[in-house]
Amino acid sequence: MSGTKKIPQGQYLFRDGDAPDAMYVVKSGKLAVTKTKQNSEIVLAEIGPGSMVGEMAFFDQKARSASVKALKDTEVIALPYKALHAQFSQFPEWVKAIMRTVNDHLRTANMRIKALEKTGDDEETFPPHTISKLMAILSFISLRYGEKSGDELLVPFSTLRNFTIQVFLEAPNKMQKLISILAELGHMKTEELGEGTQQIFVKNIDFLFQFTEWYNDWLSKNERDRITLREEQIPILSSVLHFAKKLPVSGKGEVKLNLTQIQADSTAETGFTVKTEGLEALVVLGILSEKTSEGEILTAMTNVAELKKTISFWQLIYALKKASKETAGEN
C-alpha cells in the first residue's frame, strides 16, 4: 500500500540486491545512494525532498542495484509497483516505450561504470595512458572548479567523480586511488566526512600540471631517447638534494655540489650511503653536470628546482606502478 515511511538516520530504505516492490518520493530529510567497495561504502548520489528513488526496477523487476540509506531522519512516500503498473497499463504505447528506453539507458550506464572499475588479471590498473588521462582530468577539474582554502584548492569531489565517469569514461576507483597516492606523497590532502563522502584539497596545482606536461612529453619520445630514473636511484637523488639545499643558488637556479663531501657524509646525514657509481649514473642521465676536480675535491653542478621535480615525478610513477602490482595481486 502507498503511504509514508520514516527512516531514522543511518538506517537503510533498502539494500543492494534486495527484491524490489516500490519506488519512493522523498518528503523530508536526505537519502544517500551507496555501493560497497571492499571495506568501504561509497556515496554515489544524495537525494533530497521532491526527488525519487527506486524507480529503475519498476520496468524490469531486477534486484536493487545499490543501497539507499538515510543521511538524516527522513520521511518518504511509498509508491508500490503493483498499483503503479495498473495505471501504467493505461498509458499510450509510445509513452511506455520512451520510459522503458530511458530506464534501459540508466541500466547501461550503471553497467558501464562497473565495467570501468574491473581490472583483468593481466591488465594494469595504471598503464601510462591512464596515468596521463587521470592526471589531466584532476588538473583540469581542480583548476576550473576548485575553491581557494588558505594555500590549497578545495576540489568538489562529486564534480570530479562525475567528469571522470560521464565525460572521460574512466573508472572512479582509479581516480580515488590516484588521489590517495598523491595524498601519501604530500601533494594532496583528504578529509573523511563520514557516510562515504570526503573533501579533497590540492596543495600545489602547479605540480599536477607540470607532471602531466612532463609525463606526456616523456611518453611521446622514443624509448631510446627517454631519460628514465630507476627506483633505486631516487634515494641517491634525495641525498644529493639534502646537500644541495644547504648551498647558495646562482641566478640560473644552480648549485655547486661537493661530491666528495656527499660521499663522506651521506650515511650520517641522510641514512643512505651515496657511492661513486651512483653519482656517475646521475651524470650520464644529465641530472648532474660533468665532474670537475678542485684539488682533492670533486664537484658538479645541478639545478635545485629541477632536482626536486625529478624526485617528485619519479616517486609518483613508482608509487603508481606499485599500486598496479598490488591490484593485480588481488584479482
Express each pLDDT in 6-36 by its tens digit.
999 999 999 988 888 888 889 999 988 887 7
Q: Is the pLDDT of residue 133 over 60?
A: yes
Q: What is the pLDDT of residues 262-297, one digit of tens each?
A: 999 999 999 999 999 999 999 998 999 999 998 889
Give the pTM. 0.64
Are residues 17 and 111 located together in one domain of the fold?
yes
pLDDT tier for residue 197 given thresholds of 50, 70 and 90? low
For residues 170 and 84, membership in a common domain is answered with no
- Classify residue 296: in a domain, yes or no: yes
CATH number at 166 reads: 1.10.10.10
CATH number at residue 67: 2.60.120.10
pLDDT of residue 323: 85
Query: Measured in whole angstroms, how far is the alpha carbon of residue 298 from the centre of its chain?
Result: 44
Of 46-50, 214-218, 299-303, 314-318, which gets the smallest average pLDDT?
46-50
Do 7 and 74 meet the contact criterion of CB atoms below 8 Å apart? yes
Question: In this predicted structure, what is the pLDDT of residue 122?
Answer: 43
Residue 152 within any structural domain of the chain: yes
Segments forming the whole domain that contains residue 185:
128-222
Question: Looking at residues 167-188, what average pLDDT do you find?
Answer: 88
Same domain? 215 vs 235: no
Q: Indicate the pLDDT class of residue 168, thresholds 50, 70 and 90.
A: confident
pLDDT for 137: 93
- Write down the pLDDT at residue 40: 65
Instruction: Give every CB contact of residue 275 below 8 A, 6+ residues apart in sequence.
Output: 263
Above 80 in pLDDT, residue 44? Answer: no
3-state DSSP call for residue 53? strand
Q: Are residues 53 and 152 in the same domain?
A: no
Cβ neighbors of 76 (< 8 A, separation 6 or more) are 4, 5, 7, 13, 24, 25, 26, 27, 31, 53
Residues 133 and 211 in one domain: yes
The candidate with the shortest Cα–Cα distance to 172, out of 118, 108, 107, is: 118
- Work out the angle between the directed axes of helices 93-117 and 172-184 (0-180°, nearest 10): 40
User: In this predicted structure, what is the pLDDT of residue 97?
Assistant: 66
What is the per-residue pLDDT for 320?
92
| Residue 307 counted as domain residue | yes
The mean per-residue pLDDT over the stretch 105-116 comes to: 54
List, for residues 201-244, the tens digit of each pLDDT value: 999 999 999 999 999 999 988 888 888 999 999 999 999 999 99
Contacts of 52 (CB under 8 A, 6+ apart): 23, 24, 25, 26
Q: Are strands 3-7 and 22-28 parallel, antiparallel or unpaired?
A: unpaired
Name, of 21-30, 41-50, 117-126, 306-315, the range with top average pLDDT: 306-315
Of 83, 117, 151, the one marking the end of a domain is 117
Let me know if residue 321 belongs to a domain. Answer: no
Rounded to whole angstroms, how far apart are CA atoms 131 and 27?
Answer: 43
Dist. CA 259–CA 300, nearest whole Å: 7
CA 207 – CA 287 distance, rounded (Å): 19
In-domain check, residue 324: no
Residue 21 located in a structural domain = yes
pLDDT at 326: 72
My answer on whether 209 and 291 are in the same domain is no
Is 330 part of a structural domain of the chain?
Answer: no
Inside any domain, residue 248: yes
Q: Return the pLDDT at 331.
A: 45
Instruction: Tell me how far apart the alpha carbons of residues 319 and 211 are, in angstroms, rounded to a whole number.
Output: 14
Question: Distance between CA 156 and CA 263 in Å, rounded?
Answer: 47
Nearest one of 127, 126, 163 to 146, comparing CA atoms: 163
Q: What's the CA gap between 95 and 133, in Å, rounded?
A: 40
117, 141, 176: which is the final residue of a domain?
A: 117
Q: Are residues 110 and 82 in the same domain?
A: yes
One domain, residues 247 and 145: no
Residues 179 and 133 in one domain: yes
- The per-residue pLDDT for range 74-105, each reduced to its tens digit, is 999 988 887 766 766 666 766 656 556 555 55
Q: Are residues 152 and 75 in the same domain?
A: no
Structural domain count of the chain: 3
Determine phi and psi for 41, rounding to 5 degrees. -115, 120
